[in-house]
């Protein structure tokens, strides 16, 4: 799809069509995607990266050769040269550099906002504290099964700027969007906005839980009554932000019957629109495991219906889709003991949901970079289901202080020690769960790297790897 301008009077059009220089802040996947797109459109691009070249030089392998990189920080003196700054999701709007740019009157947008402005097709945007990647993937598979040419990505997989720059024609973007990406939106207006759930997260970045909720609520800020809001009717935090929104509501619920939306009835996922009820799939035929995944299926079904996808296509996908890597992924068995990789469990609520799907005598490995949230909500589940709690990383001591007495606790230095201990203490009837309840950045570059290392360690110890 050739990039165009959604709004012909967009103020960034003058910058891009004039081939003026653009500053991109941050050399992660989103920053690289934005830089490459702008370079292909003829703009001179400078990327500033906080890390040093010796630590992150490999990142330039995916950059357009015409893009310049400045390492080691974001000096404010650069801002005199640019009218447009594109920031990566990991760069806080409150940072000194970004605030300096805003105060100088420089337009600051995020990579997702850039892609939206340069696309002309509708968007489906999916956000929430947990379940975004699974729901986005499900909806993408629904569309592909139905023969709809869609682009799937965002916070999951390909950056949206990469999808925009790819060849071929798509009829719709299906994008996972994070609160960090929503912070930097101005014109972003999905035709379908999905909010799965909201629980405390990223309190190391946000001043309060309310700030985090309001960041999520920005998904609805530009939508109107021709658009659809697919929201979790069981989540009180979502109810608080949907009272005065303009898009039409098409909610979903696991716990109650709805006048309109997606819900459970007589063992089926059912869609109700007006007076009509449509059965989608028997819940016992869904391959994904756990109540949280049932909610993801409800949300994807509601969004798929609003996209015009036949329920038969949705049912066929849900019967066969077993889940994503690093999300309650069954890695192996050790003497009959199942071992699960839930490295994507990057917050307390995610770990809570995963632990709820387990039985008892769970050996639970947790820990990572502390996000500042409370671990107390895990205490009851840990006391009922966990026999051994293995803690590692930056958050380990605070976890021990919160959960002491709920299970036998062992503090370990690294993931290898955690794997060794979990296997040594496994016995018939046990289950091993790696669900950190934290981000990975104290010890790993991403939850994906963390999960792959966990799986490699497991396979080595159970005799399946080198």
The predicted pLDDT at position 2 comes to 58
Q: 437 and 394 in contact (C-beta within 8 Å)?
A: no
pLDDT (tens digit per residue) in 295-329: 999 999 999 999 999 999 999 999 999 887 888 88
Q: What is the pTM of this model?
A: 0.80
Q: How far apart are CA 393 and CA 441, in angstroms?
A: 10
Q: b/e map of 77-96 (b: 16 or more CB within 10 Å)?
A: ebbeebbbbbbbbbbeeeee
337-341 vs 431-434, strand pairing mode: parallel
Domains delineated in the chain: 11-111 (3.40.50.720), 119-320 (3.40.1190.10), 329-461 (3.90.190.20)
The predicted pLDDT at position 215 comes to 82
The predicted pLDDT at position 205 comes to 57
Q: How far apart are CA 36 and CA 46, in angstroms?
A: 11
Nearest to 296 by CA among 357, 223, 239, 385: 357
Q: 439 and 371 in contact (C-beta within 8 Å)?
A: yes
Q: 179 and 203 in contact (C-beta within 8 Å)?
A: no
Q: How far apart are CA 223 and CA 246, in angstroms?
A: 6
Q: What is the DSSP string of 97-108?
A: HHHHHHHTT-EE
The predicted pLDDT at position 213 comes to 83
Q: How far apart are CA 221 and CA 2, in angstroms?
A: 27
The predicted pLDDT at position 167 comes to 46
Q: 389 and 432 in contact (C-beta within 8 Å)?
A: no
E strands, 135-227, are 150-154, 172-176, 192-195
- Pick out the chain residues at pLDDT < 50: 167, 465-466
Q: 262 and 300 in contact (C-beta within 8 Å)?
A: no
Q: Which residues contact 80 (CB under 8 A, 6 or more apart)?
A: none
The predicted pLDDT at position 237 comes to 87
111 exposed, middle or buried (CB, 10 Å; 0-12, 13-18, 19+)? buried
Tokens of 65: 């050769």
pLDDT (tens digit per residue) in 420-430: 999 999 998 89
Query: Is 271 strand, coil or helix?
Result: strand
Give 32's strand partners: none
Other CB atoms within 10 A of residue 267 CB: 12
Q: How far apart are CA 153 and CA 172, in angstroms?
A: 11
The predicted pLDDT at position 250 comes to 97
């Amino acid at each position: 799809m050739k990039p165009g301008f959604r709004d012909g009077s967009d103020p960034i059009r003058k910058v891009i069509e004039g081939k003026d220089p653009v500053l991109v802040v941050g050399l992660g996947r989103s920053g690289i995607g934005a830089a490459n797109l702008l370079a292909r459109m003829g703009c001179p691009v400078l990327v500033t990266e906080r890390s040093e070249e010796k630590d992150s030089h490999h990142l330039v392998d995916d950059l357009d050769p015409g893009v310049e990189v400045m390492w080691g920080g974001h000096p404010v003196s650069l801002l005199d040269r640019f009218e447009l700054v594109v920031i990566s999701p990991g760069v806080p709007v409150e940072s000194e550099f970004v605030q300096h740019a805003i105060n100088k009157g420089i337009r600051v947008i995020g990579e997702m906002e850039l892609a939206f402005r340069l696309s002309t097709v509708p968007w489906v945007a999916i956000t929430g504290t947990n379940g975004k990647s699974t729901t986005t993937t499900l909806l993408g598979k629904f569309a592909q099964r139905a023969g709809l040419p869609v682009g799937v990505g965002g916070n999951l997989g390909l950056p949206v700027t990469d999808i925009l720059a790819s060849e071929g024609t798509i009829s719709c973007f299906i994008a996972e969007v994070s609160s960090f990406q929503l912070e930097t939106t101005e014109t972003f207006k999905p035709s379908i906005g999905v909010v799965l759930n909201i629980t405390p997260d990223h309190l190391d970045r946000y001043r309060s839980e309310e700030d985090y909720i309001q960041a999520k609520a920005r998904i609805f800020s530009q939508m109107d009554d021709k658009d659809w809001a697919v929201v979790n009717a069981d989540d009180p935090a979502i109810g608080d932000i949907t009272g005065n929104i303009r898009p039409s509501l098409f909610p979903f619920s696991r716990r109650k019957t709805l006048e309109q939306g997606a819900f459970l009835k007589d063992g089926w996922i059912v869609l109700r629109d007006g007076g009509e009820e449509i059965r989608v799939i028997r819940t016992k035929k869904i391959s994904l495991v756990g109540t949280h995944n049932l909610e993801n299926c409800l949300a994807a079904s509601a969004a798929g219906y609003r996209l015009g996808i036949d329920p038969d296509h949705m049912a066929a996908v849900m019967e066969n889709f077993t889940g994503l890597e690093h999300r309650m992924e069954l890695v192996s068995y050790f003497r009959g003991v199942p071992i699960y990789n839930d490295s994507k469990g990057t917050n307390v609520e995610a770990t809570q949901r995963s632990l709820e799907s387990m039985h008892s005598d769970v050996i639970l490995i947790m820990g990572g970079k502390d996000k500042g949230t409370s671990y107390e909500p895990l205490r009851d589940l840990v006391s009922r289901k966990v026999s051994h709690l293995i803690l590692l990383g930056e958050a380990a001591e605070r976890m021990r202080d919160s959960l002491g007495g709920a299970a036998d606790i062992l503090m370990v230095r690294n993931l290898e020690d955690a794997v060794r201990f979990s296997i040594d203490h496994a016995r018939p009837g046990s289950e091993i769960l790696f669900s950190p309840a934290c981000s990975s950045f104290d010890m790993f570059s991403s939850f994906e790297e963390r999960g792959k290392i966990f799986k490699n360690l497991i396979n080595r110890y159970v005799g399946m790897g080198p």
